[in-house]
Structure 1
């Protein structure tokens, strides 16, 4: 392994490289080679191997620490590092505590009493842990808060401890979820409605079925300075899918820069048959340049062509295997499935252990229902560290399997991905 500040990813066929990328196969191999894996797991906590802030690693690493029965001592020592190092260790220890580790729980509580970055750790555990695990730390917090260079900004746990939060964000605005769809559209249509209220209206609409009546309002839904669309507008338009294409043709020709960009993006997300060769070339160029940010959008566009996009399959496979940007891995898997679903059973089985929640969710719904995979899905359902969304999906899949709705599924189950690097 290299110096802490030299971030060169190891080969994808090595245990170290798989773990750095958060691949499910890395977790499988680590369980088979625990002595070799231990150093790489600790290195994943010591250094941030995420490609950017959207990638996830803490649950993946916490599971490895637990499943390999590794000592917590090196993780606890990382709390003494700078703030980033401390919080990476904190994220892993928080999850291990939820999984039943008293050492992790008590280690964080002790750090709050004496550590340098104690306030951020206390804020973090107040979000992730049950209140009885931290609400008795009020005396410690009140005694230590006076020496903080920067005042806390989160309401919890400070207000519960009677500590003033000078930089507290503005009080939450009333939810608009109780308004009808027509009322929300009226707010968006009204020129007197402020940007914050329009944002809340878009947020409420995005929790409902897509509303085609939103489309005529889009050109008026820029920020007051006219430089960008309102937050959540892009998401609201995306949810309309092909219904937005006719309007987007006009937006793309508009003189307003943000509206023209939005129109162009919508049209690009709904390519015509003549666009397919260009998209394949675009993906090939992204692979040649090893562009790790952005090919997921190209993959989603190619997925719309189904089997007609077969020429893109080699590039999609390479991206799925090689990318260090784990957040994008699910897009490649979904594109592969849309274009040619054959041979993906092992990929789905591996993805049950992927670091990314979206990959695990996709695998839960798609993996063949064989004993090995059902056992893994049951483990996800019962894991207190797992996200609520994954646990719910696992319960649903297992209930479906129990009811016999999987029919005569005879997939091959877990194994090694056969794609060539």
Structure 2
């Protein structure tokens, strides 16, 4: 029930990205002109590269498509910059096509004015190449820290992902940069902080490592605000009183959060009508996670349409969507990237917490709930520029299985081409669970996918032949691969 946790690099996890980038640059002081772009069809080499598909890597190598790879380095085509992965995928293309480090450094120093995350994108690739032993990548990154405008971001990524020996001696250079160009404090009212230079994250590397050697840095580290732990204003309130408080009042959410800390409470099901409010989405989802299958009857009730309307009703957001308001503006072509097919023009209106209900049914429902999961897929398709949540539905359909679930297989297969690549592993698992005899091509392609979890699953289940064994041996021996992928490849090679 909880949102799937991402496994980006430490540096990526700490950077201040926008919630969801869309296929259009936004205007700002740094980028006064909106630059339109779109995802090319996934059957084209560029479209496959934009999505991080295995077929894109294979086609680019076959076609020697250096120009297309450079396009994907200069603009970050990930749908969700924070968790979608591209660094190793692009680094392999750079390495395979013998693209010189100088070409990447040119992008790093001259990213253009599109505001499309080019610096972070190419920095991640350079760091990956550096981890693979390309010394010119390390030298280029160190030089950028000395002269580049976004040197703080680059330095913190280098310190997070490369050995201490590659950056520790940069302290004198950094000390001089801090003195000559002191960082400005962050503006909490800035609606687009990701498009501005930001101050250092003093509580992270390399600053905490340098604090012992530099009094000024030590003072900044000491002053850096630590995130407070979650408050518990109702810690001492008896459970019986909390159950009474969740039916309404100003502390309804606090009461529900405190109850969640104390384990499952079946009594909440009797007051479910009082909880069906969008502002309670988070704590209600946690409560239903604790309750498990016991929450299915309430979930079925909430998943029943209230009425039909020509306009899409506002509801709670899927896990990785913006926390409030409408999805971010983007070009019309972003909507065409949706994993599903267009639903009917007069969609039903649901209860405020219908997404929580559908996730309960996906995890605990049975074959009678498949129509509800199909309706949930339709609902997601209506959310312009929002590609989150399909993974939960695909996993639920695959878990339930059976002939009725097979009707959803074409939609799950189409979701494979979503540019939100983090969810792709769920679609591969679902296809393999529902129709393993048809999953061979996706498994073979998945060995080259941008997402490590896709490569791991593909390595564990790909049909064995001379070609796949050769690729598995390559994955097993590539030191840039995560340990999980290498282990899956090694284990699969032991099969007869």
Q: TM-score range by the shorter chain?
A: 0.7 to 0.9
Contact kept? 1:374, 1:398, Cα under 8 Å? no
Compared CA separation, residues 126 and 264, structure 1 to 2 (3 A):
same
The answer for unaligned runs of 5 or more in structure 1 is: 174-185, 206-212, 220-225, 408-421
- Worse-matched range after superposition: 52-61 or 282-291: 282-291
Contact kept? 1:280, 1:311, Cα under 8 Å? no
Query: Does residue 254 of structure 2 align to residue 158 of structure 1?
Result: no
Looking at structure 2, the residues matched to 131 and 172 of structure 1 have their Cα atoms a distance apart, in angstroms, of 29
Contact kept? 2:108, 2:123, Cα under 8 Å? yes
Contact kept? 2:358, 2:373, Cα under 8 Å? no
Alignment map for 1:74-113 (pairs within 5 Å): 74-80=103-109, 81=111, 84-113=117-146
Task: State how many pairs are aligned.
Answer: 368
Partner of 2:47: 17
Looking at structure 2, the residues matched to 142 and 128 of structure 1 have their Cα atoms a distance apart, in angstroms, of 21
Partner of 1:149: 183
Query: Normalization by structure 1: what TM-score?
Result: 0.73
- Worse-matched range after superposition: 354-363 or 261-270: 261-270
Compared CA separation, residues 73 and 263, structure 1 to 2 (3 A):
closer
Query: Normalization by structure 2: what TM-score?
Result: 0.63
Partner of 1:378: 473
Query: Does residue 370 of structure 2 align to residue 273 of structure 1?
Result: no
Compared CA separation, residues 400 and 272, structure 1 to 2 (3 A):
closer
Partner of 2:335: none
Looking at structure 2, the residues matched to 191 and 64 of structure 1 have their Cα atoms a distance apart, in angstroms, of 60
Compared CA separation, residues 11 and 370, structure 1 to 2 (3 A):
same
Contact kept? 2:104, 2:122, Cα under 8 Å? yes
Looking at structure 2, the residues matched to 55 and 137 of structure 1 have their Cα atoms a distance apart, in angstroms, of 30
Cα drift, residue 359 of structure 1: 0.9
Alignment map for 1:355-370 (pairs within 5 Å): 355-370=450-465
Cα drift, residue 21 of structure 1: 1.1
Compared CA separation, residues 380 and 142, structure 1 to 2 (3 A):
same
- Worse-matched range after superposition: 51-60 or 114-123: 51-60
Cα drift, residue 272 of structure 1: 3.0
Looking at structure 2, the residues matched to 115 and 234 of structure 1 have their Cα atoms a distance apart, in angstroms, of 45
Compared CA separation, residues 268 and 247, structure 1 to 2 (3 A):
closer
Match of 2:493 among 401, 413, 417: 401
Contact kept? 1:123, 1:154, Cα under 8 Å? no
- The root-mean-square deviation of aligned C-alpha atoms, in Å, is 4.3
Partner of 1:318: 414
Query: Does residue 393 of structure 2 align to residue 298 of structure 1?
Result: yes
Structure (1/2) with the larger helix percentage = 1
Compared CA separation, residues 288 and 230, structure 1 to 2 (3 A):
closer
Cα distance per residue 1:244-288 (max 9 Å; x no partner): 11145468889xx99966862443223332222443465467669
Cα distance per residue 1:347-392 (max 9 Å; x no partner): 11110110112211211211123332233233223323323xxx23
Match of 1:8 among 25, 38, 45: 38
Query: Does residue 33 of structure 2 align to residue 33 of structure 1?
Result: no
Contact kept? 1:251, 1:262, Cα under 8 Å? no
SS of the residue corresponding to residue 415 of structure 2 reads: helix
SS of the residue corresponding to residue 463 of structure 2 reads: coil
Looking at structure 2, the residues matched to 188 and 28 of structure 1 have their Cα atoms a distance apart, in angstroms, of 61
The answer for unaligned runs of 5 or more in structure 2 is: 1-23, 26-33, 185-198, 230-235, 243-252, 269-277, 303-314, 317-351
Looking at structure 2, the residues matched to 7 and 79 of structure 1 have their Cα atoms a distance apart, in angstroms, of 21
Alignment map for 1:10-409 (pairs within 5 Å): 10-34=40-64, 37-53=65-81, 54-80=83-109, 81=111, 84-146=117-179, 147-150=181-184, 151-155=199-203, 156-161=205-210, 162=214, 163=217, 164-165=219-220, 168-170=224-226, 214-216=263-265, 227-228=279-280, 244-247=292-295, 249=297, 264-269=357-362, 270-280=364-374, 283=377, 292-308=387-403, 309-320=405-416, 322-387=417-482, 391-399=483-491, 401-402=493-494, 406-407=495-496
Cα distance per residue 1:103-145 (max 9 Å; x no partner): 1110001111111111111111000000011001111111111
